[in-house]
Amino acid sequence: MRYCCWTRHIRVYQYHKSTSTKRLGARLKYGSGDDGTTGLLGGVRVPKDDPRVEVLGTLDELNSIIGLARTLTGYQDLKDVLLRVQKSLYIVGVEVASIGTSAHKKTVDEGMVKELESLIERYESEVHETQGFIIPYGAVSSVVLHMARCVARRLERRAVSLKASFYVNKTLLAYLNRLSTFLFILARVINARGYIEEEVLKIKNMTGD
């Protein structure tokens, strides 16, 4: 997997901080990652299979899938909230790229978590409670959001794995946890608005009762 998007953003950020305004239009050099390393904030070079880079790559993947969902949906309010989420993912990425470096900064705050919780409550009112497993199906944008939800869960797992080696902001983990829930609800909302009946799998005696 390539992580060109995030690591390139980091290089641009570092380049702009260390360059006069007259040279901001200069082209960035490439090829520095030919040795299998990439840069984090603070100029730290790490292997491309570093767990922090894995989180950044998953962030990039999630952002792209959300962008596809935003392109496909015809609902302007959903386009708007999904764009807000995409922008927030860059804020998450800045913090992840600084973990374990001298440039470490907490960019994910409680306000971001509360905003997601508010959006969850807002859109949850559009769907009914259901018992069973909801099978991803229906409008294309709904299924794409289910895919995004799966990647968001993987992103959360990757972020949790960082705790074995680094300090990880609990608020960052809380945000990622809420994000997958929010994407799941939006996937259901799209089908509900399109009067597409959900396919629900109910399994008897799941608890052994």
Show the domains of the chain with their CATH numbers: 4-201 (1.20.1200.10)
For 161-181, write each residue's pLDDT tens digit.
999 999 999 999 999 999 999
Task: Quote the pLDDT of residue 28.
Answer: 60
Question: What DSSP string describes the chain?
Answer: ---HHHHHHHHHHHHHHTS-GGGTTSPPP--TTTTSEEE-GGG-EEETT-HHHHHHHHHHHHHHHHHHHHHH---HHHHHHHHHHHHHHHHHHHHHHHTTSTT------HHHHHHHHHHHHHHHTTS----SEEEP-SSHHHHHHHHHHHHHHHHHHHHHHGGGTS---HHHHHHHHHHHHHHHHHHHHHHHHTTPPPEEE--TTTT--
Per-residue pLDDT reduced to its tens digit, 33-43? 777 888 888 88
- Confidence (pLDDT) at 42: 83
Segments in the chain below pLDDT 50: 1-4, 12-24, 208-209
